[in-house]
């Protein structure tokens, strides 16, 4: 199933969620876990953030997948970076 991937930009003057794209998986949690490294690279590329400016771990705190009852974050599912 395809799920929407969001980035929360809390660093801007006006914080907002941005749609980054779609990720595929059996569940929203599995889609996020399997695609976390890709999602991190996508957000980094979209924002033009070098890795020495913002760590992968910090960036991953801003990534979410939409599920029927809300959002799921890497922290919720215990996902860690390997990018």
Give the CA-trace dihedral at 16, 79, 76, 49, to 10 degrees. -20
pTM of the model: 0.84
List, for residues 35-65, the tens digit of each pLDDT value. 999 999 999 998 888 889 889 998 999 999 9
Q: How many CB atoms lie within 10 A of CB 29?
A: 19
How far apart are the C-alpha atoms of 58 and 24, rounded to whole Å? 23
Please tell me the predicted confidence (pLDDT) of residue 83: 46
Please tell me the predicted confidence (pLDDT) of residue 5: 96
Give the CA-trace dihedral at 82, 38, 43, 61, to 10 degrees. -50
How far apart are the C-alpha atoms of 22 and 1, rounded to whole Å? 10
**Any idea which residue has 């953030």 for tokens?**
49
């Amino acid at each position: 199933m395809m799920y929407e991937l969001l980035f929360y930009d809390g660093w801007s003057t006006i914080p907002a969620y941005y749609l980054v794209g779609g990720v595929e998986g059996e569940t929203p949690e599995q889609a996020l876990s399997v695609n976390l490294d890709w999602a991190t690279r996508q957000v980094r590329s979209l924002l033009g953030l070098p890795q020495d400016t913002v760590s992968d771990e910090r960036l991953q705190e801003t990534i979410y997948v939409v599920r029927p009852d809300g959002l799921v974050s890497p922290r919720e599912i215990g996902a860690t970076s390997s990018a």
